[in-house]
Structures are given as C-alpha cells and as structure tokens.
Amino acid sequence: MGKIKLLTPEVRNKIAAGEVITRPNSVIKELIENSLDAKARRIEIEIEEGGKKKCLVNDNGIGMAREDALLAIERYATSKISDVEDIEKIRSYGFRGEALASICQVSFFDLETSNGIEGTRIEVSGGEVKGIFDSHRPMGTRIKVTGLFFNLPARQKFLKSADWERRLVSETVRVYGLISFNVNFTLVETDRTLVNLSAVTTLEKRLKLIYPKIVTDHLIKLDQTTNNVIFNGYFSQRDFQYRHALNYLYVNFRPVRYPRLYRTIMETYENPKNVPAFLLNIVIDPSQVDVNIHPGKTEVRFRDERYIADLLTQAIKKHVFNRPSPVDYSFPDPKAVTSFTGTVRREEFVQEPVIAYDPASQKEIPTTRESGVFWQLHNTYILAQTKSGMIMVDQHVAHERIIYESVLKGTVHGQRLLFPISLELTPEAYEIYTKTKPVLEELGMEFKEFSARTVIIDSLPSDARVNREDIANFFDEIGNLGDLMKEKSEVAKVLACKAAVKAGERLSIVEMQSLIDQLFACENPYICPHGRPIVIKFSLEDLATRFGR
C-alpha cells in the first residue's frame, strides 16, 4: 500500500482554517471587512478575555436573505467574484469565500442576519450546522464567535495573554477605523469601552480623535494624482522627532504590509532615528495590483513596484519636504536653557541635579582608581584608569542599573518636576496606566489626571533624566510586559531604561565621576537589569599582549 493518501475533508478544512484564522484579532478583521463590504455605517464589537472567550461583531449593513446566509458559511462561497477574470477587478475587502467557513470550523458560531425582509439565525459548532431559526432583528448582521480553537487545543496554547490579544484586537479596529472614517466603530470588553470612534467627515478629524495634538499638529497632507495613481494621506514634517504609533499603509483602502514601500519612505526621510509618522492610501486600478497572495489578504504586490516607489518618493519630496514648517508663535520652550558657554541648547533633563554627587555618601569603589580623571568616548562610553589597567563603562546601562536598584530599594524618592510632563494617552495606554499606577507611585512617580485621557506626570525618581519624547511611549512599553505589568521589578526595568542617561549625551567630569561612584555602590554593578554587560575590564597584561610587548 502506498504511503501517500488523501486527507479527509475534516482535516483539510481545519488546515485551511488555520491559514485564515490565527487568533482573535484575525476573526475581528474578517468580520469587520464583511461589515464594510455590506455598507455598514455602524460596527459594534464586543470581546471577552481579549477575544479568546468571545468575539462579537454587530453591524447595520444590508444583511442577507436566508439562502445567502446558508451559502455564506460554505467554503469558497462569495458574492464578490464570479470567475477568474474578476480577481483582477477586486474592489471589495473579501473575495476568497473562506473567512466565515474557516471561523465556523474552529469555533462555536452564531450568525443572525436580516435583509429587511426576512431574518435568519444559524448556529454552527466546529463546522457542523446545529440549527436554523427565524429572527426578528433589524436589517444588518450579528456574528458571535465563542470557544475559538476549542477543537484545536494545540492552536489554543499558542494564544498569548488576554492583555496581549486585546491590544491586537484594538489595533485591528483602529486600522480599519482610520481609513473608514465615515463609519462609527465601538469596541467593548465586559462593559468597558476600549475604542469609540464616532463617524466623521474627513480623515484629518479621525486622526485627531485617536492621536495626541503634538502628533497631528506636525502632519502634512499629501494628495497627488499621477497617471491614475493616487497618493492620499498624511506625513510628518521632516524634523518631527516625537515617538508615536502612526505608521499605516493602505492600497485601495485595504490595510497592507508592504516592506518595499516602507523602506522607500524611510530612505526618502534619510533613515532617521525615529520613524516618521504617516498614513498613506494608494488608490490604483485593481488590475495593477495583486491582492491574492495570502489567505489573510494583508500582502499585495504592484505590477510595477519600482514605478510606484519612485512616484511615492517624488510625492513626499514635493508635498511634504517642500512645505515650510508652520511658524511657532507660542512662548519659548521652558526646557530650552542657556548653558554656561552662553549658547542656547535643548535641555534634555527635566530636573536638577542631573546626577547627584555626594562623595561622602559613596561606598569604597572596588576599581581602586589612581586618579579622578575620566574620558568620554563618543558621548556613550566612560573610560577610567585603575591600578591594574582600565575599565570601559556603558553610561546608559550603568545609569539604568543605578536607578533600578534605587527605586526597588526605595532609597530614591520622587522629585517634583519643574515642568510637569503632560501626555495624551490612547485608550489602550490609559488602561495600562490605570492598572500600573499604584506600582509606579511606589517607584517614585506621581500623577494628576486632566480631562479624558490626559495624564500629567508631576514627579519622577530624583535621578531620572528624561524629557517628553523619552516618556511618550512609556505605557505602551509597559503594556508589552503582558501579565508581568503588575510586577514591581519588571515595571522598574522599563522605568529605569526610560529614565537613564542616553547614549550620545555629553557628561561633565563631575557627572562621570558620580555615575561611576554610584555604579560601584550597587549590589550588581556589572550587569544591567535586562542582562547586558555594563563594565568591560582591560588589564595591563591584556593591553601589553595586544601591543605585542
């Protein structure tokens, strides 16, 4: 008997379902796309446990008759295309006829729909229809998905924490909410609203609903049509340095990943340290773009990729770079101070002293320095001579270790800021703030809440060296900890990294000496909280060997 055999339909269907549905946010993505294709103007989303327990999408679209509803849950059934040629004319989100069938295969599926004439409810369990009922719902469709991957325990184990899955779902809703600005989107979890985007008339208004003013005020509109290729969206000014989460690319209103175009944008901005903010929709004849690359429909390819990249580069240079920056008539930045040299520089440190230096309070230093002479290499590394040779210290991770141990021991108290930091938080970041506020206050931070999601940081650990940009995505990074975000030591690592002196910052001799003294007063002066080395030693013997002595 041969070794090769045909897989059963059940196995084939589950394999196919795994290509389309990978986690809760892919369920939400497919259902949102169906709602938009159905011309919905209101899309309500509910989840439980980040979508692992329940995903529900309710819309006011055109709905379906019973015959269509029964066909919709069959694989390769779609209203979007009829033959092969139609694949080159795709203007809808869906067209493969796989999404609903795939979801049905791996969940308990409840579909309720009405076209305004007749209403239908269908219950499906693991791909098997369990019941068909009449429904009295108004026009539109409601789909509830529970027990995702109940029949694929191996896939269930690969799902991450509820917090992680919740952030992915929130991001998915935001991605579609941005481009479909004339649609009302809400995302709720156990009576708590995570996303609430009311319908607006322009993309600019939708951006202002989601992003802080400091981001939207630095965006420049790009609107250009060349040979039937339309670029429409917003790009940040060339000198924009604020950290953000605005990097979205759409093709014919479909959110996509397109590494080549992303690189084009970065290269046009000359590969800046901070990624520019942008939202770009490319509208092009469907025959010039292939959207049928992957079942998830998140990847596309242009027929003439180089041509599109060149056009995009020219459009950015013409509409963004040549646009003069608006004149700032506000009061001078209080963090711009005059240094002792008489030149004006940007003060990166929120409070004084920068690094407190009290020689009497320092322990004996095991490096046994012969002198207090220090050198700073590339404004990143500190060199110091010892009796047996020399040491090289990474100033950022050294300061990180100092702050980390200090805040955990409670030996450093919060110091009130001369200029408090005001942050406009996203709904997800605000949720993380409310969860971790008690821990952060223990670590020396103090907050005041102002208006909806605006948080004012009143104090930081007294050794902190940060500005507004440094702490802009602070809560997002805490959120990346997942279930560990309530662990004091893990949050302290994030705080220490943000508050520490940065690579590339010039230090005075006194500041270098203070940093070295405080470092070797730590319990573990050689490894940073994240496991990176802090100190590299060079003995006289090592140096002699390298020089062939």
Q: DSSP label at 429?
A: H
Chain position carrying tokens 């649609």: 183
Chain position carrying tokens 């209403």: 119
Total Cβ atoms within 10 A of residue 407 = 28
Which pair of structure tokens corresponds to residue 38?
Answer: 């159905």
- pLDDT over 60 (residue 11): no
Phi, psi of 297 (to 5 degrees): 60, 25
Cβ–Cβ < 8 Å for 200, 209: yes
Q: pTM of this prediction?
A: 0.64
**Complete domains list, the chain, with CATH:** 9-197 (3.30.565.10), 211-321 (3.30.230.10), 344-538 (3.30.1540.20)
Chain position carrying tokens 């092969």: 84
Arithmetic mean of pLDDT, 261-278: 90
Band of pLDDT at residue 2, cut at 50, 70 and 90: low
Arithmetic mean of pLDDT, 526-532: 84
- Model pLDDT, residue 463: 72
**Exposure string for 482-493, b = 16+ CB within 10 A, e = fewer:** eeebeeeebbbb
User: What stretch of H or E contains 91?
Assistant: none
Phi, psi of 93 (to 5 degrees): -75, -50
Summarised one tens digit per residue, pLDDT across range 337-368 is: 333 233 333 333 333 333 444 444 444 444 44
CA 405 vs CA 139, 310, 465, 469, 533: distances in Å: 60, 51, 16, 24, 16
Higher pLDDT, 297 or 374: 374
Strand intervals (E) in 190-296: 192-197, 219-226, 229-236, 247-251, 254-255, 278-283, 289-290
Arithmetic mean of pLDDT, 87-95: 63
- Model pLDDT, residue 509: 87
Summarised one tens digit per residue, pLDDT across range 182-230 is: 999 999 998 788 899 999 999 999 999 888 888 898 999 999 998 889 9
- pLDDT over 60 (residue 403): yes
CA 11 to chain centre: 35
- Order of strands across the sheet with 414-424? 414-424, 454-461, 446-450
Integer Cα distance of 361 and 351 in angstroms? 21
